[in-house]
Copies of this chain bind each other. A is one copy, B any other.
Amino acid sequence: MNNQKLVRNIVPAEPGFDEPNAALLAEDFRGFLPLPAHLDSHFEEALRHVLQNPGSLVRPRLVMQVATAYGLDATHANSLAFALEYFHTASLIFDDLPCMDNASHRRGAPCVHLAFGEPGAILSALALINRAYALTWQALSGCARDTQLQVMAYLEQRLGVEGLLNGQSLDLHYAKLPHNRETTERIAHGKTVSLIRLTLVMPAMLAGASAREIQLLERIATCWGLGYQIVDDLKDVLQCFSETGKSVARDVLLGRPNIAAAIGVCGAVERLNSLIRMGDLTLSRLLIIKPSLSFLGKLRADLQAELVRVTENACEMNPRAQA
């Protein structure tokens, strides 16, 4: 199948947008969890390893952009940005454990449990979570009481038994579930979309966005969250270690959900295009209400670019692509 045809419905990216400086973001990623003196040395080493490997920091970038669009002050926005990044990082550390995905690499480095043992990994992840809640609190400290309760309830739902945690449990027991689009998307909705929803919705909610804006942001987060999961699934099936910096082709091996494995690479790409179209429609409605969110076009363009990069020549060259 021709990839040009597969991506034909994707519109061009928005014009350039000044993103937060990458080096500053990495510095903040380290700095928002200050390590006190006299920590147990094993714990400290594991924490330093985590903090020195920040990954792409796409979530804090987005939080700060949404916050800017809504006029939220930078201090509160920054606290929220790294709170969500810490929640995300903690979830990855847990996912990588031997009893979960048993991964070897993450963010281009050995997984924490391999470098510093499972207790080091678990305690580091819990330290991130503890800090993340404190940062969220700080981000909320300037808000009206009703907003605080609304935002906290939203956070609890996305991270808790109804959101991320249930998604992770379904993910681990995928072998016993029907291998189809509905199942993989139900899992992605819990595991992946939950944090994207928090990233786009929380800063807007904190700034007092309307119910309609929240609804549209939620829909965009769902389309693009599922979309990014499809890109990840395609990467797992099609790419090699050097390109992704993490263990790959593991999903089928471990019986983990992968939409490209469940319905084929081309079906997955078609579904991604459909999600991008739904996202475009929703974004156009949102931008009428809130033009300052136009930078979101960049996220959508990145999704398109990832899709093009991942699928380039894959359908013709890689035998696994025919799965």
Contacts and interface: CB of A to CB of B under 8 A. Distances in A.
Interface of A: 33, 35-36, 39-43, 47, 94, 97, 99-100, 117-120, 122-123, 126-127, 129-131, 133-134, 137-138, 141, 145, 148-149, 152-153, 155-156, 159-162, 165-166, 168-170, 172-173
Across the A-B interface, give the 6 residue pairs with the lowest CB-CB distance, nearest first: A43-B169, A99-B118, A40-B169, A134-B156, A130-B160, A137-B152
Contacts of A35: 161
Contacts of A42: 169, 172-173
Contacts of A153: 134
Number of copies: 2
Contact residues of A: prevailing secondary structure: helix
28 contacts: A35-B161, A39-B161, A39-B166, A39-B169, A40-B170, A40-B173, A42-B169, A43-B165, A43-B166, A47-B161, A94-B122, A94-B126, A99-B117, A99-B118, A99-B122, A100-B119, A123-B169, A127-B160, A127-B161, A130-B161, A130-B165, A131-B160, A131-B161, A133-B133, A134-B155, A137-B148, A137-B149, A141-B149
Given A129-B129, A137-B149, A119 B165 contact: no
Contacts of A165: 43, 123, 126-127, 130
A80 B72 CA distance: 30
A134 B156 CA distance: 6
A114 B313 CA distance: 47
A117 B100 CA distance: 10
Nearest to A156: B134
Contact of A169 (B119, B130, B172): B119
A58 to B, nearest CB: 23
B159 A130 contact: yes
Contacts of A133: 133, 156
Contacts of A36: 161-162
Given A39-B166, A43-B166, 5 more contacts: A43-B161, A43-B169, A47-B161, A126-B129, A134-B155
A172 B133 CA distance: 25
